[in-house]
Structure 1
Amino acid sequence: MNPATTAPHADAAGVDPRSFKSFSEFYPFYLSEHSNRTCRQLHFVGSSLSLVCLATLFVTGNGWWLLPTIVVGYAFAWIGHFGFEKNKPASFKRPLYSFMGDWAMYRDILRGRVKI
């Protein structure tokens, strides 16, 4: 079963993201915090646009592209969380694992393991 589409939102409501001792423990929680399809879609779009900005940074050598690389990814994700998922992003309490979760979910969406 796919935690992103089957885990009820209430299960994760009382969990402190700082309680996980490894990313492999954290990732199912991360997916449960992304049960809303629109939230996942916004994450995917934001991450894709971040990759485009990052590529532009490397192609042009213009360091100013670093700012939109960061802002666009988080803006789309936070709109997904606050507007659709109705939760706070785990990045507020577990930034590194959340960043890793963003890219693990991106990979899993591309592989068809997580539906958007």
Structure 2
Amino acid sequence: MVANPTYERISLPPTPYKSFRAFYPFYLGEHRNRINRMLHLVGTSGSIVIFGRVVAAAVPYLCKLLEYPHLASRTRGWAIQEKDIWKYVVLAIVEGYGLAWMGHFFAERNRPATFTYPLYSLRGDFTMLWEVLTFQRKAW
């Protein structure tokens, strides 16, 4: 059974959350609006793909460093110039947070939990995406 399946709004408690398990139902209640959830899911997915591309770009360098010339030559096309790697990282962060914050400010009309609980909120994004991808939770 998933937490807060109806996305019921839960008031912020007077004391800080001490665990993600306690926080997650509140997080879901801050995502009642379908457009907001969609923007979160698209932003989180896109960020994962971009970060995956950055990791893939490291493979040729690691192969060369570990002295696997045959594999290094086959993966050479995966490389990204060092100066461009940071552009991808910034793009991933902007895409993930930008879409999520647009969902909060314009669709949900609330303040993102990221400002109060940054790590729990990030984990909430990944958990909600996982639940949707594994058909445990409806996206819309």
Q: Secondary structure at the match of 2:6?
A: helix
**Which runs of structure 2 are paired with 1:53-92 in the superposition (5 Å)?**
53-61=50-58, 62=80, 63-64=85-86, 65-92=88-115
Match of 2:30 among 29, 33, 50: 33
Say which structure is richer in helix.
1
User: CA–CA distance in 1 between the matches of 2:19 and 2:50?
Assistant: 30
Q: Which runs of 5+ in 2 are unaligned?
A: 59-79
Paired residues of 1:18 and 1:93 also in contact (CA < 8 A): no
- Report the Cα distance in structure 1 between the residues aligned to 2:24 and 2:14, rounded to whole angstroms: 10
Query: Would you say the 8 A contact 1:4–1:34 is kept in 2?
Result: no
Q: Percent identity?
A: 42
Opposite residue 91 of structure 1, the aligned amino acid is: T
Shift of 1:82: 0.6
* Alignment size in residue pairs: 112
Report the alpha carbon displacement of residue 112 of structure 1 after superposing the two structures with TM. 1.9
One-letter code aligned to 2:102: I
1:5 corresponds to which letter in structure 2? T
Partners of 2:110 and 2:132 lie apart in 1 by: 21
1:72 alignment partner AA: E
What is the aligned partner in structure 2 of residue 3 from structure 1?
A: 4
| 1:21 counterpart = 2:52 | no
Give the match's secondary structure for 1:30.
helix
